[in-house]
Amino acid sequence: MTTTLITGANKGLGHEAARRLIAAGHDVWMTARDPERGARAAEELGARFVQLDVTDDESVQTAADTVAGDTGLDVLVNNAGITGARSEVPDTTPDELRDTYETNVFGVVRVIRAFTPLLARSNAPIVVNVSSGMGSLAVTTDPDRLESKLVGLSYPSSKSALNMLTSQYAKTYPEWRINVVDPGYTATDLNGRSGHQTVQEGTDAIVEAATLGPDGPTGTFFNREGAVAW
């Protein structure tokens, strides 16, 4: 059976991805920084639970040790993310960027590093990084796209960094399937439920990337409709 771990799975896209991957037959570790909310969500869906705060070295390593003591790991979904401060560009401080990067960028590196030994023992390791169209230079400079009207420093640049991390990890582990996905604008707490997609639609690309066969693509960026330009 395929074993999958999802960060930030207590709600939103991570929660729906857990539900769908369990339905697809995966043995899923739902993780969350809040142990009560996370454990409750996992119990409701019939998943395993381990506390994991992507900004905390000890929490991430303890989670990796817990998983290693119980199961292997085939699929890692780096879903946890924050918008961070939404200051106007001239007012944005380095500390605001650092806060956002701590979760959206450094958190992903921390989690991948901790789970690499486990993934390396899988026959078909998969990493799914959940990015955004806001991280695409092509999308955010296309005047026909909504993303080009949303101007900020923290979130967009953190997701651009995540895109590059994904590309570099994919080159480092060519036998693994390591891709980055854009869920699309989806109604979750991240955007005050203003997104036009349902969480089912928003998890299509995540589920696709998490269920790729060993001959599937790696080092690519896609959404539910297909390739996204970097």
Interaction site with ligand NAP (CB under 6 A): 7-8, 10-14, 32-34, 53-55, 79-82, 103, 130, 132, 182-183, 185-186, 188-191, 195
Would you say 17 or 170 has its CB closer to ligand NAP? 17
Match 């395929």 to its residue by tokens: 2
Match 């640049």 to its residue by tokens: 157
CB of 22 vs ligand NAP, minimal distance in Å: 17
User: Does residue 172 sit in helix, strand or coil?
Assistant: helix
Would you say 172 or 191 has its CB closer to ligand NAP? 191
Q: Which of 11, 101, 149, 155 is catalytic?
A: 155
If 0-12 CB within 10 Å is exposed, 13-18 middle and 19+ buried, where does residue 215 land?
Answer: exposed
CA dist 59 and 168 (Å) reads 25
Q: Which pair of structure tokens corresponds to residue 102?
A: 């701590």
Q: Is 173 a catalytic residue?
A: no
Would you say 81 or 125 has its CB closer to ligand NAP? 81
CB of 175 vs ligand NAP, minimal distance in Å: 26
Would you say 125 or 156 has its CB closer to ligand NAP? 156
> Letter for the amino acid at 69?
G
CB of 187 vs ligand NAP, minimal distance in Å: 7
CA dist 197 and 136 (Å) reads 19
Q: Is 155 a catalytic residue?
A: yes
CB of 178 vs ligand NAP, minimal distance in Å: 16
CA dist 19 and 13 (Å) reads 10
Catalytic positions, written as ranges: 155, 159
